[in-house]
Amino acid sequence: MQVKISPSYLSGNVTAPASKSAMQRACALALMHTGETIISNPGISDDDKAAQSIIQALGARLVTQPAGTIKITGFDLSQPANAAPPLNIHCGESGLSIRMFAAIAAISAGQITITGSGSLANRPMDFFDDIFPQLGIQVKTNHGKLPLNIKGPLKPTAITIDGSLSSQFLTGLLFAFANTAREPVVITVLNLKSKPYIDLSLQMLKYFGYNVEHSDYQQFIIQPRRTPPHSITYQVEGDWSGAAFLLVAGALSGKITITGLDVFSAQADKAILQALMATGAILSINESYIDIQSSTHLKPFHFNATDCPDLFPPLVALAAFCDGSSVIEGVSRLAHKESHRALTLQEEFGKLGVNIKLQDDLMIIEGGETIKGAAVSSRHDHRIAMALAVAGLRAVGDTIISDAAAISKSYPAFFDDLRKVGATVNSVS
């Protein structure tokens, strides 16, 4: 699908999409909960659908209710009678799903093959080769890549892991250990990145009745679970990752109000507010909504995105229109995404006339030049598609984005939401 973005002035209200980070975690916790979980405001992205498909494959029952909520009936994966028969689990292109559900699936004694598609097929899975045997799990990968073949059951044991590649591996272990621990057990973590995502995991574990504490993010102490209630109701909060593009769109071209966000959220990408404030964007933050308005002159900024690497694409769109050079730290976190995001941002925004330099762990964006619409490509990366669309709102001339359908991975209604607030967005045959 090709989409043409024309220069536009935005005005109106838009509701943030459901957080896929929270939705996928909720599905995992609902699978392990021996009872019913009612999820309201469920996500509809491709990654959300992948998580729902996975828990059903593992044995959870899922029913969509008339009110739009989802009822999930989970069970005790550790019981021999519940051991999954040999089965295949497909994670789509969801990195969180494969890194989180691999450990959870291994609670069962069944033989399970885990696969994925697109860029996920090339992401490193060496973590499982290194860690799973220490937990009693039989594991085989394709030279550190998918498919991943595992056979549990997982035995929660004190281990030390490297947290520098992704915090998602740790989330999977925390969930699996919390569900199976019969006595306190400790996971020691070295070089943990993306700590806010672990805060979200811990917050949700607590909500579902688990007790996990940490010592400065270096040691995580998992206690045996208390007796949980039979029924749990969980509301998925709004997604700061998707809303970051809406906020930048407002800062560049118009005046919009965004609802559905928790300003006290543990989500890492809430940090977009810090970057926007640094530019001097006209911003009003309230408990139930955020007003954002464009400014003729935006100041360049320096931002560390090591703990929130998904903010790189919207931050590049923002920096392109700032008066001077902006610097974003954390480039090393972009290597294993849907595309090689650092190079993709450099090349695709270069087509719009934006000069981006990569220097060690820094990305330097030269703003202030005239940004001209051009033919660009998402490279099948949802966040690249949205970043290019946002830049196109203030560019001179039309911006045509190929493979724009990539947005369905995280925010399928993105272009519709832009149209709701006045953006000129047209499909191109």
CA distance 236 to 7: 33
CA distance 389 to 326: 20
Residues contacting 385, CB < 8 A, separation 6+: 378, 401, 403, 404, 406, 407
Same domain, 184 and 252: no
Which carries the bigger pLDDT value, residue 209 or residue 429? 209
* CA 165, chain centre distance (Å): 15
CA distance 131 to 419: 47
- pLDDT tens digits for range 254-264: 999 999 999 99
Same domain, 186 and 255: no
Same domain, 350 and 379: yes
User: Is 16 within 8 Å of 239 (Cβ atoms)?
Assistant: yes
CA distance to 43, 47, 110, per residue, from 68 (Å) = 11, 18, 33
Residue indicated by tokens 């007796």? 227
Same domain, 145 and 207: yes
SS3 73: strand
Looking at residues 103-112, what average pLDDT do you find? 95
Same domain, 262 and 201: no
Same domain, 247 and 228: no
Q: Which of the listed residues 235, 255, 278 is the one where a domain comes to its end?
A: 235
**What total of structural domains would you count in the chain?**
2
Q: Which of the listed residues 181, 208, 235 is the one where a domain comes to its end?
A: 235
Whether 239 is catalytic is no
CA distance 51 to 62: 11
Write down the pLDDT at residue 121: 87
State yes or no: pLDDT of 8 exceeds 80. yes
Same domain, 195 and 319: no
Same domain, 275 and 424: yes
Of 46, 48, 307, 310, the catalytic one is: 310
State yes or no: pLDDT of 354 exceeds 90. yes
Reported as type and span, the H/E element at residue 21 is helix 20-32
Residues contacting 348, CB < 8 A, separation 6+: 376, 377, 378, 379, 384, 388
Same domain, 275 and 418: yes
State yes or no: pLDDT of 309 exceeds 90. yes
Instruction: Provide the 8-state DSSP code for 322.
Output: B
CA distance 391 to 371: 8
Tokens, residue 76: 């005790």
Reported as type and span, the H/E element at residue 215 is strand 211-215
Looking at residues 193-199, what average pLDDT do you find? 94
Same domain, 184 and 98: yes
Q: Which of the listed residues 235, 252, 276 is the one where a domain comes to its end?
A: 235
Residue indicated by tokens 């996971």? 187
CA distance 342 to 316: 10
Looking at residues 296-313, what average pLDDT do you find? 96
3-state secondary structure 238-279: ECHHHHHHHHHHHHHCEEEEEECCCCCCCCHHHHHHHHHHHH
Same domain, 284 and 398: yes
pTM: 0.95
Residue indicated by tokens 């860029």? 119
Looking at residues 275-287, what average pLDDT do you find? 96
What residue numbers bound the domain in which 118 lies? 20-235
Tokens, residue 310: 């998904």
Same domain, 68 and 81: yes
What CATH number is attached to the domain comprising 255?
3.65.10.10
